[in-house]
Chains A and B, each alone.
Chain A
Amino acid sequence: MTLALALEQLLNGLQLGVMLFLMAAGLTLIFGVMGLINLAHGSLYMVGAFACATVAAWTGSFWIGLIASLAAAAAAGAVVELAVIRRLYDRDHLDQVLATFALILMFSEGTRWLFGSFPLYLDIPPLLQGAVALPGGTEYPVYRLAIILAGAIVAFGLYLLISRTRLGMRIRAGESDREMIGALGVDIRTLYTVVFALGAALAGLAGAMVGALQSVQVGMGEPVLILAFVVIVIGGIGSIKGALLGALLVGVTDTMGRFLLPKILALFVAPAQAGMIGGAAASMLIYIVMAVILAVKPRGLFPAAHA
């Protein structure tokens, strides 16, 4: 029974990790290519969730909502890049932090303006409702398994895009030498907009998929954003591979920590106390992991060549 429970928690951790990867991939790509730290990435996650919930409510189809979430987040990303972000590439990180912090305020309040303060709800599509039996006798929701699968497919697709296509070649070239690929005649401004929109679309997709598990509300992107920061700091900023491994590490550590720490502590102290201390310690666990990794490797597990 406990083993089955542990397996369930492990899958939950994987599912969280996959979500974090979708967020972290965009963040790390944008930092790698443009050298920009984007706090408003969580807002694009929120845009994706709201677009999916709204369109799904109109059309009655989760799948059309999912496409809408990709389109809306990519469009929002492109508009923001054209209007604000491209003025920030030559600025220092402080200006980037402040400008994108300002964007968060505008996105959050703007969304509240349009949709009100009440959360929206998004139903799991009929195809993915229900549960499958796990070895050991528990059941696990199909939808969460589908998220893990979708994340794996996106990760593989992103790998193909970056290593096998012309666009991917330009992105890699942009990461190693920005001026040079501009001098070689690549339209670097358009490339930047495309990369930003791509990152935004990944965030939007993550928001839409999580939207069916939680409620869709203003501010939903912020906790995920900060976890995604932890992920890319652990993985090495600018490294997609690092983002993937970091995301899985953070997802599994966080979920398993919340599950196991109170149980382990219960062996030593009274159950009520174990729950309290264990819960508090578990909420700090991933930050402790991050601190340990950085104390050993200050540039993360897979440091990018430059930056």
Chain B
Amino acid sequence: MREIMIVTRESLINLILAAVLLAVPFAADAFGQPFYVTLATRIAILALAATGLNLALGLGGLVSFGHAAFFGIGGYVAGILAAHAFSGDPLLFGLSGTKQMWVIWIVAVIISGLVGLAIGAISLRTSGVYFIMITLAFAQMVYYFAISWPAYGGEDGLSILVRNQFPGVNTMRPLTFFLICYVVLLLALALFALIRASRFGTALQAARQNEVRVATVGIQPYRIRLTGFAISAAVTGLAGALFADLNRFVSPSMLSWHMSGELIVLIILGGTGRLFGPLAGAALYVIFEYALGGLTERWQFFLGLILLVVVLFARGGLLGLLAGKAKHG
């Protein structure tokens, strides 16, 4: 809440970031450059996914290396519901698919949240390096399942022929779809700020800083972390559903461990635990990818190099460089 009441340098930078992300697509649309609108949409969706992870990683200190599982599950929810709505085949228990985005979002949030609850329940029994590897292993399990289950495309993935609908607007128009994603991102950021300032969020952060103390005052760190992990999974799952609609395609690559790595990279590039860290990181990442990809075929090599330098020498990320050290470690 402090950030809202007092205008700090960080909140000013946050405001500028949000404004620029909103302004660029409008300008691009006005100049007839829909490609840049898509680029901005990509930034917004990746930032949303990373905001989900930031709840677990930034606040809870839970280094999940398996959030691609939730991202991909969200994507597959969108793909599968749309495919059933298209073909008319009933899904489960006679329920039919749907083309309505908001229904898809709710289902994506619920399913990825539940999977997060299950994965978290086992993974959170461990900590440190075990937790990193176990979340990775569970994500791989989902990944291999998606590859070997042929009903929804298997290795080839699943196409969404027409982007799903939102009442009252034409989602096929790039700018409209961008605005939907942008609003969802802002809502998620507001949720993050609310959680961070709440009693629950304080307990989650305290469990990261000193687990024993939290237990001493009568709060079970395990339950707090599990709740945080499930919410985190649900937000990332929502991002996955939007990502599937952006590309109108879902494939196991959304579930791959590179995706999990990328999500962590976004947070670190932007600045861990900061409200706008994921947005700053996603913007930086997508712009890097685009700019380097235009310069050289070998852009991944240079991306690796930049990432290495950031980890070794610039640990606060972009917001750390611009806005100074975070107020609480």
Contact = CB atoms under 8 A, between A and B. Distances in A.
Interface residues of A, number: 44
Summarize B's interface: helix, strand, loop or mixed: helix
A280 B122 CA distance: 21
B141 A94 contact: no
Interface string A261-300: 0000000000000001001101110011011001100111
Interface stretch (A6-14, A49-57, A104-112, A196-204): A104-112
Contacts of A97: 63, 65, 132, 261, 264
B318 to A, nearest CB: 15
B301 A276 contact: no
B130 interface: yes
Given A102-B308, A230-B137, A280 B301 contact: no
Contacts of A31: 129
B264 A98 contact: yes
Interface string A1-27: 000000000000000000000000000
B147 A283 contact: yes
Q: How large is the interface on B (under 10, 10 to 19, 20 to 34, 35 or more residues)?
A: 35 or more
Contact of A298 (B126, B137, B140): B126
A102 to B, nearest CB: 4
Contact of B315 (A95, A110, A237): A95
A101 B265 contact: yes
B130 A233 contact: yes
Given A109-B300, A233-B134, A291 B122 contact: yes
A265 to B, nearest CB: 14
A294 B134 CA distance: 9
12 contacts: A84-B308, A101-B261, A101-B307, A113-B301, A222-B257, A233-B137, A280-B145, A283-B144, A283-B145, A288-B141, A291-B138, A294-B122
Interface of B: 57, 63, 65, 122, 125-126, 128-130, 132-134, 136-138, 140-141, 144-145, 147-151, 257, 261, 264-265, 268, 272, 298, 300-301, 303-305, 307-308, 311-312, 315
Interface of A: 31, 37, 84, 87, 93-95, 97-99, 101-106, 108-110, 112-113, 222, 226, 229-230, 232-233, 237, 276, 279-280, 282-284, 287-288, 290-291, 294-295, 298-300, 307
Q: Which 5 A-B pairs have the closest CB atoms?
A: A105-B304, A287-B141, A109-B301, A106-B304, A102-B307
